[in-house]
A and B are shown apart, each in its own frame.
Chain A
């Protein structure tokens, strides 16, 4: 496999995302496998932000630290990513931004070239041109894409942008032909057929496929994209999307919606979820289904609003007063983000429990190539029943699930109550029945366990060292192990973190050593394993500075642990 990592770095408002959006599409359509990830500050203008675009001849899906090509767009950029610049990093940019001179540094007057094309604002398009030229993209494709991307703009603006791209393109070509820069990346027709989707889109599409037709939420990074996506599909897919006055309102609205027959969700981050906790407990008591997308960012409190962390696992698990069943998914693979977002609606509805989908900033803002999403066999089952005259919302059943009626469908009355209630749903203090209905609610856990998602074991089945991860670290750990190519190692990934898969003990006992890699400071998944199995894992690799793991970092830390062992 050959791959290069291109990093654009500059201030918020300079259009890095525009370059990323155009470039990843053009490169994919040219037959390259691409992946992109963003890190940015919590500000609308200024600061230092960067985007990484990985381009490869085979699928790549994770963040790497190394930079093969750096485009610094302001004077702070070089320092911002200095720790990732190596002796082979090619740096292309304005004279004053490219740092110390070396033979891999190329001065390109982006702004001057943009001005020549008509406006200094076209500097981003020049950048797209340079990189397209370097990567042997057919210029007609660049032209065609720019026409489409700017189609709502003036004809003159479109033509000027194409001119700007052309100027950059020639420089890029020249680097390859005259200056001997050659990445030697092979193109693959298969890449063109892939879907280009980011985590936010995958969560949102999964929700639509799962029948989501109601979302109420309060904007909060990094969860807002799902609200935005579904809001824009309201008319097309018959979705009611409402921006609530608070997260408290949001979850109470969604519970009302599910009660009345919609499939409802909320999307939020840790702080918002904290406000929803009483509502989560209400969902447990009412047995009204709800889907919660919990997009993690570093806390406590406001924390680092635009950064990434896996710090809310135990919070999600224990949130809510009282005892009630729940299910928590944590997808890491692109396809799983879609599949589990869809499944969350089915399972929540079927078992009448809260289903939580945990993601994070890194996963949501990363763009993946997905070979296909097959929806041809999907069908959503409606689990609610038409009520009869003597309908009882909380009829005690063997499996704990009481047939769920909705108001206005059938002759019966649907009474749900946050107080402890009798079978009809009316308030009661019959303490014998209290025990009976608590048991009924908790019995649903068995149904959840029946539908548990399998774990994924990557590598040699006869491993000596087992590396465990959950959620967004999937691709990073997998690539790290691929690179290490150590026959004694395997990687076990959890896309459902609660209930914990019953094979956990078996997997860990088979290993001489088990190491959990997670993006938090206290090893929360390792604690969950201890709680559920009694086993204390041997080691943890933790990161909590707000950034995701780079592949090299995982390799380095795993090697260090293994080396220590050898001594």
Chain B
């Protein structure tokens, strides 16, 4: 499918010139087109934030809900209609801050959705406060003496919970990131893509140069099924590894285990209430 299929035509994009989100948008369109996913079978679920605006800039079904709350509806959409491709997309504040609890439980449930987190280590939409992934010592108007908290490590958390697919990518590495996203979408089960990208307006510390100097790719011999090794890699903070850290093949997708699909594979919208069965249930209340 041509990547142009997803183009919205002339639209007003609200990101700053040079924002890492532009390349993420292009990468996502290319990945989807190479996977041949039609906009009508794709549901993008997002919350609030600069990253969460992305679904408004290309053709897809969109559920743009509340800040931090995209994983619950994404899980439900997939559970109601398994033929849909569901991607939850948002920023580090949205997914790791406001929505932190849903992050933990989405991993536990393991719905077959892709979770793309635009991680620029800063709050862009609210104009430059620290995010859960901001580095220690990072100064902002709200943290004038520098951030005193240790940054949240989403990969280590995901791996410790036995997430079924855990990866990290960087927005400027076009080909590599596209391949990681394609793998994540194809993966059957919950797939995390922690997607580093620069914020050119508010994050002067983690700029393009910083990302180039402080990231490297896991090598070709790396075995992503080794959980301990994955955890070690996730804990590295001198230089941040990029690539697919961990794949847990044991985990079954959430929706495939639901009793509602045991005898009937149809999506819920195609079903009718079984009133005959209901009559029997009601009659049973006579005795």
Contact = CB atoms under 8 A, between A and B. Distances in A.
Interface of A: 25, 29, 148, 192-197, 201, 205, 208-209, 211, 213-214, 216, 233-240, 242, 244-246, 248-250, 252-257, 259-262, 264, 278-279, 282, 286, 373, 375-376, 378, 380, 382, 384, 406-419, 425-427
Contacts of A248: 69, 72
A245 B81 CA distance: 22
A253 B84 CA distance: 16
A419 B64 contact: yes
A195 B282 contact: yes
B73 A240 contact: no
A213 B273 CA distance: 9
B66 A262 contact: no
A244 B71 CA distance: 12
Contacts of A260: 43, 76-77, 80-81, 84, 267-269
A276 B264 CA distance: 31
A220 B85 CA distance: 33
23 contacts: A194-B286, A213-B268, A213-B271, A234-B258, A235-B260, A235-B262, A238-B274, A240-B258, A244-B105, A249-B72, A252-B73, A255-B76, A257-B77, A259-B63, A278-B66, A378-B275, A408-B41, A408-B81, A410-B40, A413-B60, A417-B64, A418-B64, A418-B66
A238 B271 contact: yes
A234 B63 contact: no
A148 B286 CA distance: 14
A190 to B, nearest CB: 12
B263 A416 contact: no
B284 to A, nearest CB: 9
Contacts of B105: 244-245, 249
The 10 A-B residue pairs with the shortest CB-CB distance in the complex, in nearest-first order: A256-B73, A261-B269, A256-B76, A407-B61, A252-B72, A234-B259, A260-B80, A235-B259, A245-B105, A257-B76
B142 interface: no
Which residue, A237, A264, A409, has most C-beta atoms of chain B within 10 A? A237
Contacts of A286: 63, 65
Nearest to B270: A261
Contact of A259 (B39, B73, B75, B273): B73
Which residue, A195, A214, A261, A407, has most C-beta atoms of chain B within 10 A? A407
B74 interface: yes
B278 A208 contact: yes
Nearest to A282: B66
A interface, over-half SS:
mixed
A262 B279 CA distance: 22
Contact of A256 (B39, B63, B269): B63
Nearest to A245: B105
A406 B83 CA distance: 13
B285 A414 contact: no
Nearest to A279: B66
A208 B277 CA distance: 11
Interface string B49-82: 0000100100111111110010011111101110
Contact of A375 (B45, B60, B282, B286): B282
A376 B48 CA distance: 46
Given A249-B102, A408-B84, 8 more contacts: A236-B274, A237-B278, A252-B73, A262-B80, A373-B282, A382-B269, A407-B43, A415-B64
Given A255-B65, A416-B63, A418-B48, A237 B277 contact: yes
A113 to B, nearest CB: 27
Nearest to A259: B63
A34 to B, nearest CB: 13
Contacts of A236: 274, 277, 281
B79 A409 contact: no
Contacts of B43: 260, 407-408
Nearest to B43: A407
Contacts of B40: 407-408, 410-413
B287 interface: yes
B101 A425 contact: no
Interface in B239-274: 258-260, 262-264, 267-269, 271-274
Interface in B5-61: 39-41, 43, 45, 48, 53, 56, 59-61
Nearest to B272: A380
B62 A252 contact: no
Contacts of B101: 245-246, 249
Given A213-B271, A245-B101, A259-B73, A196 B41 contact: no
A427 B53 contact: yes
A308 B165 CA distance: 47
A427 B56 contact: yes
A545 to B, nearest CB: 32
A443 to B, nearest CB: 23
A209 B278 contact: yes
A413 B59 contact: yes
A491 B39 CA distance: 57
A408 B72 CA distance: 19
A264 B79 CA distance: 12
B224 to A, nearest CB: 27
Which residue, A242, A375, A408, has most C-beta atoms of chain B within 10 A? A408
B108 to A, nearest CB: 8
B62 A409 contact: no
Given A254-B76, A416-B62, A406 B269 contact: yes
B285 A196 contact: yes
Given A238-B260, A260-B76, A262-B268, A208 B273 contact: yes
A252 B262 CA distance: 25
Contacts of A196: 285-286
A256 B45 contact: yes
Contacts of A417: 56, 62, 64
A561 B113 CA distance: 63
A493 B129 CA distance: 54
Contacts of B258: 234, 240
Nearest to A281: B66
Which residue, A205, A236, A410, has most C-beta atoms of chain B within 10 A? A236
A208 B280 CA distance: 13
Nearest to B283: A195
Given A195-B285, A196-B286, A260-B80, A413 B61 contact: yes
A264 B277 CA distance: 20
A148 B284 CA distance: 13
Interface string B181-208: 0000000000000000000000000000
